[in-house]
Structure 1
Amino acid sequence: MANIPLRCPSCEAAMHVTELQCPSCDTRVQGHFSVTPILHLPVSQLAFVEVFLKCRGNIREVERELGVSYPTVRARLDEVVQSLGYAPSKSDESTAGLDAIRQFENGELSFEETLEKLRKG
């Protein structure tokens, strides 16, 4: 079954769902139905959300599943959150030190770079 086209192929305007059909008895219901904002995410973000949920939000498991670093998982999660219309978390600043330490552990930052990030906080 094909995915719901959420954008008009002609003008790129948002599409509206106006009919639902039961595949078992062919009953049809017409009207104007809302679609959850998560369905408006790009395919790549939807795939990330699926992996994130499959891993029950465990970022370490998401890292392993996608083969990416902790900061990359956090960045992708932040992109999804922002795409859904939510502001970045205030706790992002308090986790900057943890991110720097994980980057150091993964060999992505030198000792000096890690110290600098920790000082900036």
Structure 2
Amino acid sequence: MTYKVLSNCPVCSSKLRITRLKCSTCGTVIENEFELSKFAYLTNEQLGFVEVFLKCRGSIKDVEKELGISYPTVRSKLDEVIEALGYKAIKKPKVNSKDILDMLENGEISADEAVKALKDGEF
């Protein structure tokens, strides 16, 4: 049985480094310090979101349908993943009422989300 590689220390939560690799066929062992991919540090929930996002080819509307969540929630989860990968998420600028109504008309947001966005002036 194989296990997912731990990416953070269970004691202090610091990032772990791989120091030993072993071939399961011939038994060759390589020892050194190896870095994990940035994706190894994502939570299982974040990895699941990334998988759905890629499967949907980045279409937020399709991600909404696949996960059964709202447009703002998809954006929030995407920003969370972007920041977890070490990048600064670009916050969407405030949206004017015409843009909100266009998104509602195109089915990108629900009526409740449009009402909230019109009140708040942003997504």
TM-score, normalised on structure 1?
0.77
Q: Which runs of 5+ in 1 are unaligned?
A: none
Using a 3 Å threshold, how does the CA distance of structure 1 residues 116 and 30 change in structure 2: closer, same or farther?
Answer: same
Question: Residue 106 of structure 1: which of 100, 103, 110 is its match?
Answer: 110
Distance of 1:50 and 1:110 partners within structure 2: 28
Distance of 2:32 and 2:104 partners within structure 1: 51
Does the Cα contact within 8 Å between 1:71 and 1:99 map onto a contact in 2? no
Aligned Cα root-mean-square deviation (Å): 2.8
Does the Cα contact within 8 Å between 2:100 and 2:114 map onto a contact in 1? no
TM-score, normalised on structure 2?
0.76
Match in the other structure for 1:93: 93
Does the Cα contact within 8 Å between 2:7 and 2:36 map onto a contact in 1? no
Using a 3 Å threshold, how does the CA distance of structure 1 residues 115 and 72 change in structure 2: closer, same or farther?
Answer: closer
Verify: 1:28 aligned to 2:32, yes or no: no
Verify: 1:43 aligned to 2:26, yes or no: no
Q: Which runs of 5+ in 2 are unaligned?
A: none
Distance of 1:99 and 1:71 partners within structure 2: 15
Distance of 2:68 and 2:22 partners within structure 1: 40
Question: Which has a greater percent of helix?
Answer: 1
Q: How many residues align?
A: 117
Match in the other structure for 1:68: 69
Distance of 1:4 and 1:117 partners within structure 2: 42
Secondary structure of 1:32's aligned partner? strand
